[in-house]
Amino acid sequence: MGLLRNFWKKLTHTKALDQSSGRLETAFFESVYRITYVAGMSTSDHDMLYLMYSNTVRLMIILLVFGEVWYGFTEASGLDEVAATINVTVIQYIAIYRFTNMMSHKDFYKKLATSMESPYFDITTDERKKLVDYWLRTNERYLKLLLALGNCTLAFWFIFPLVDDVEYNLIVGIHLPINYKTPIRYPLAYIVVMIAFFYISHFVMITDLKMQTHLMHLLCQFTVLVIEYERGV
C-alpha cells in the first residue's frame, strides 16, 4: 500500500498543491486537486506535456457530446433512445456549465479555499481542532463515497452493452464517422467510446467533488465561528 500511495502521489503531483495557501487548504483540497490533475482538468499546470494531455481529453469530451447530440437528432429510432440521449447530454451540459462557471470565477473559489488560513480564523483550542478534524474526515469520506458510487456505476455501464441482446451496441448512443458494425471495427469503436465516456464521467464527478469540498470547507468554518460566537470569544 505504501508503494502504491507513493506512486499515486508522484503521478498526481500538481502545481495546485505547490500554490496552496497552507496546511488547511491542502488538507481539504488535496484529493480533489490530485483527481482533477489526473483527469486532465487542472488549470494550475501549464507544462507542455500536461497541456497536450489536457487538450486531448477536452477534445475527446467535446467530440463525444457532439456525437451524442448528432445521434439524438438523426439516428435515435425510438422514444427510449431519445430519452436516454437527452438524459445523458443534460447531465453533461450541466457539468460543462458548472465547470465553465467555476473557471470564470476561479479567483473567487481560490479565495474561498484560502479563507481558513486567515489569522482571524482561530483553531488553537482543542475543541476547535476536533471540529476541523471532524469535517476533514467527513469531507474525505463523502469524496470516497461519491467516487466509489460513480465508478461502480461506470463499471456496470461498460459491461452491460457486452452482455445484452443488442448486436454491436455501444455504451451510449453516439454517431461515429465510420460504420463500426463489423467484427473488426466494433472492438476498436467500443474501446474509443469507452475511454471518452470514462473521461467525461469523471469530468462530471469532478465538478460535483469540487462543489462538495467547498461546501464542507464552508460548513467547517461556520461551525467553528458559531462556537466562537456562542462562547463570546
Q: Domain of 72? A: 24-104+125-231
In a domain, 39, yes or no: yes
| Whole-angstrom distance, CA of residue 203 vs CA of residue 190 | 20
Q: Is the dihedral of CA 106, 109, 110, 111 positive or negative?
A: positive
Q: What would the 3-class secondary structure string for 67-135 be?
A: HHHHHHHHCCCCHHHHHHHHHHHHHHHHHHHHHHHHHHCHHHHHHHHHHHHCCCCCCCCHHHHHHHHHH
Q: In percent, how much of the chain has pLDDT > 90?
A: 33
Whether 47 shows a pLDDT value over 80: the answer reads yes
- Per-residue pLDDT at 8: 84
Tell whether 109 is covered by a domain. no
Q: How long is the chain?
A: 233
Domain-embedded: residue 136: yes
Grid coordinates of 36: 482533477
pLDDT digit string (tens) for 65-104?
Answer: 999 888 888 877 777 777 878 888 888 888 888 888 888 8
Measured from the Cβ of residue 56, the count of other Cβ atoms closer than 10 Å reads 12
Over 70: is that where the pLDDT of 40 sits? yes
Q: Number of folded domains in the chain? A: 1
**Can you give the pLDDT at residue 232?**
58
R_g of the chain, CA atoms, integer Å? 21
pLDDT confidence of residue 231: 66
Q: How many helices (H) and strands (E) does the chain have?
A: 8, 0
pLDDT of residue 144: 93
Between residues 82 and 49, which one has the greater pLDDT? 49
Grid cell of 139 as nine digits: 469531507
Residue 233, pLDDT above cutoff 60 = no
The answer to whether residue 229 scores a pLDDT higher than 90 is: no
With a cut of 80, say whether residue 28 has pLDDT above it. Answer: yes
For residue 124, pLDDT beyond 80:
no
Mean pLDDT, residues 59-66 taken together: 92
User: Does residue 216 belong to any structural domain of this protein?
Assistant: yes
Taking the C-alpha atoms of residue 29 and residue 230, their distance in angstroms, rounded to an integer, is 29
Asked whether residue 1 carries a pLDDT value surpassing 70, the answer given is no
Q: Which has the minimum average pLDDT: 1-10, 134-143, 185-194?
A: 1-10
* Cα distance between residue 15 and residue 206, in whole Å: 17
- From the list 160, 170, 177, the residue with the least C-alpha distance to 196 is 170
Q: Is residue 190 part of a domain?
A: yes
